Structure 1
Amino acid sequence: MIAMQYGFTLPADYDMSIIDRRIRDKGPLLDGFPNLGFKAYLSARKGDFGSRDNLYAPFYLWQKPEGASDFLCGPGFQALTGAFGWPRVNTWIVWQAAISPEIAAAAFATRDILQTEPYAPLADLRRAESAEAEADLAAGVLASVSGFEPTTWTRVRFRLWKDMPEIGRHTQAYRVGHLSLAQP
């Protein structure tokens, strides 16, 4: 599995109803996309939940790398880049993805990017991140994804929630405008 996210920082005075409309109109187009675990269409408004910026930042969980490749090479991503520019696409090797059967109720998301210390015991980190993802699910999180990226040595913790939890200072919080799920 691969986790993937790109984002667009929008001007402070940007009309975020444009993003809301885009999510509403375009979101269902990825429902059932091959090799997709889920796509969370995410946005944040400057000032909401501590966000410093207006953001549009979808997050994907791909069951197979081919899904990510097919999406990035496809007409939907081409249209997106035509409208907003060429983003940096972050990817992480998934260590753990725990998904509740209630995932469709997700209304909020949180994402933390953590730096991995040089020479840290990766197997121990993977076990700890996987255990935390499973514990989050048991505590009511609707989806919990943990992964790592070995070029920048960063880790991602992504969570989907029904209600917005208390968040830390370095956590980016989002609203979920639409959730595209895997084919049944």
Structure 2
Amino acid sequence: MIAMQYSFTMPADYDMSIIDRRIRDKGPLLDGFPNLGFKAYLSARKGEFGSRDNLYAPFYLWQKPEGVSDFLCGPAFQTLAGAFGWPQVRTWIVWHAEVSGDIAAARFATRDNLQMEPYAPLDDIRQVDSTEAEADVRAGSALASVCGFEPTTWTRVRFRLWREIPVSGEHVQAYRVGHLSLPRA
């Protein structure tokens, strides 16, 4: 599995209802996209939940690498890049992804990017992060939980989908979920 996110920072005075409308209109187009675990259409408004910026920042969980490739080479991404510019696309190798049967009820998301110390015990970190991801969903506190790492910059990601916005730390970016694209049943 691969996790992926790109983000567009909008001006402070940007009318975020434009992003809301785009999510509402374009979101369903990726419902059932091949090899997609889920796509969370995310936005954040400056000052809300501690966000420093207005953001449009979709997060994806891909079941297979072909899904990433097909999406990035396809017309949906080409249209997006034409509207907002060519973003830096961040990817992470997924250590663990836990998804609740109630994922469609997600209204909020949090993402934490963490730097790893040089020569950190990767297997130990993977085990701890995977256990936490599984526990968050099994306890019912999160509707989905993804953890992974990126070995070029040696960073980790912790991504969660929530019914209600949780209290989060200073390093955590919180978002509203405008739409959730899921695999076809």
TM over 0.5: yes
Mapped to 2, the partners of 1:162 and 1:11 lie a distance apart of 28
Letter in 2 for 1:101: G
Are 2:88 and 1:93 aligned? Answer: no
Q: Quote how far apart the aligned CAs of 1:132 are.
A: 0.5
| 1:97-142: CA deviation from partner (whole Å, max 9, x where unpaired) | 0000000000000000000100001111110100010111122210
Paired residues of 1:109 and 1:159 also in contact (CA < 8 A): yes
Identity %, equivalent residues: 80
| 1:52-72: CA deviation from partner (whole Å, max 9, x where unpaired) | 000000000000000010000
Give the aligned partner of residue 69 of structure 2: 69
Letter in 2 for 1:159: R
| 1:57-89: CA deviation from partner (whole Å, max 9, x where unpaired) | 000000000001000000000000000001000
Q: CA RMSD in A?
A: 0.5
Are 2:122 and 1:122 aligned? Answer: yes
> Structure 2 regions of 5+ residues with no counterpart?
none
Give the alignment of 1:1-16 within 5 angstroms: 1-16=1-16
Mapped to 2, the partners of 1:12 and 1:80 lie a distance apart of 21
Paired residues of 1:34 and 1:183 also in contact (CA < 8 A): no
Letter in 2 for 1:86: W
Q: Quote how far apart the aligned CAs of 1:183 are.
A: 2.2
Equivalent position SS for 1:79? helix
Mapped to 1, the partners of 2:106 and 2:68 lie a distance apart of 22
Paired residues of 1:23 and 1:41 also in contact (CA < 8 A): yes
TM-score w.r.t. length of structure 1 = 0.99
Letter in 2 for 1:72: L
- Which portions of structure 1, spanning 4 or more consecutive aligned residues, are displaced by more than 4 angstroms? none
Are 2:60 and 1:51 aligned? Answer: no
| 1:1-34: CA deviation from partner (whole Å, max 9, x where unpaired) | 0000000000000000000000000000000000
Number of aligned residues = 184
